[in-house]
Amino acid sequence: MANQGSEKERRHELVIVGAGPAGLTAGMYAKRAALDAVLLERGLPGGQLLNTELIDDYPGLPEVDGRELAERMTQHATKFGLLIETVTVKGIRKLEDGDFRVTTVEGPVYRSQAVILTAGGTPNRLEVPGEDEFLGKGVSYCAICDGAFFKGETIAVAGGGDAATEEAEFLTRYAERLYLIHRRDQLRAQKILQERVFTNPKIEIIWNTVVTEVLGDERGMNGLRLRNLLTGEEPRLDATGLFVFIGFRPNTGLLEDHAEHDAGGHLITDRDMRTSIPGLFAAGDVRAQLTRQITTAVGDATTALIAAEKYLTELKDQRAAGQATGT
């Protein structure tokens, strides 16, 4: 249990924020290392796994339901005694004494010597009818995760930037036909990416158009309602899949201190997952990196925890030396 300084303040060596694959991995390793750690999560542990119907690219598990994998990871972490508390973190700040103060919506305040931020990110959504209903049943935000489930089918991609064009080209290795739906009359992607889309015979671009509704039945998605922004026409597009790439927001707004980040807000780390704030480590989708997969999140978190453990040991030695010399 937590060491409580007051009814609403809890002290730990390490606070981990976010219980997706990265957070659960960091928590498991923390308890194996006998660290006093707590994992904070606003909902059920699992993160984006809870929105994934089937996973077939996690080593050792050729096919596993996302919720099942989340449950397995949670059980594995708690087997070693990991404390998971259901709270919504609203702020992380480093104090003058070097500790971190993590505040929550519910009231409890957590004090720790180190923090691992594994809060993931949130894909921007279309916010149209049917998007929630057919999530995991045709609607996806990850081409690498779900593309293989659409072999020989007709699918659509919404977006016009680098991610949309890259993922559209990637998806043509599975899809028989792909429609790239963009609200403007020209793409925003890099020229080389645009050229690849323009020359791919499987891709057709639908210009000046937005998705207004995802259509389907009990078997899943079977079409889209579109609207042409110039003519006002609202045609139906027959498709069994919709991949949405209109931006991704890393959940780094929790930090009250400035940390080095890229243009998209992802934290920049070194090879040991250390951020520009000493004692703050980042793993998974909050970190600037080439790809965002379950496997990379797990790897990031393993490195982050080992680095955090080393940091805590060095900090303990420094404080002990300071007390011995009276400084």
Is there a contact between 286 and 121 (Cβ–Cβ < 8 Å)?
A: yes
Tell me the sheet residues that pair with 224. Answer: 214, 237
Residue closest to 308 by CA, chosen among 92, 13, 25: 13
Please say if 317 is a catalytic residue: no
Distance CA 73, CA 84 (A): 13
Please say if 142 is a catalytic residue: yes
Tell me the sheet residues that pair with 220. Answer: 217
Helix, strand, coil share (%) of the chain residues, nearest 5:
30, 30, 40
Contacts of 53-56 with C-beta under 8 Å, sequence gap 24+, read 53/136, 53/137, 54/149, 55/145, 55/294, 56/148
How is 11-24 classified by DSSP, letter by letter? EEEEEEE--SHHHH
Distance CA 156, CA 241 (A): 6
Residue closest to 163 by CA, chosen among 248, 245, 244: 245
**Which of 57, 146, 238, 257 does the annotation list as catalytic?**
146
**Which of 145, 217, 272, 317 does the annotation list as catalytic?**
145
* Burial class of 121 by CB neighbour count within 10 A (0 to 12, 13 to 18, 19+): buried
**Which of 99, 142, 185, 238 does the annotation list as catalytic?**
142
How is 218-282 classified by DSSP, letter by letter? TTEEEEEEEEETTT----EE--SEEEE-S-EEES-TTBSS---B-TTSPBP--TT-B-SSTTEEE
Please say if 262 is a catalytic residue: no
Residues recognised as catalytic: 142, 145-146
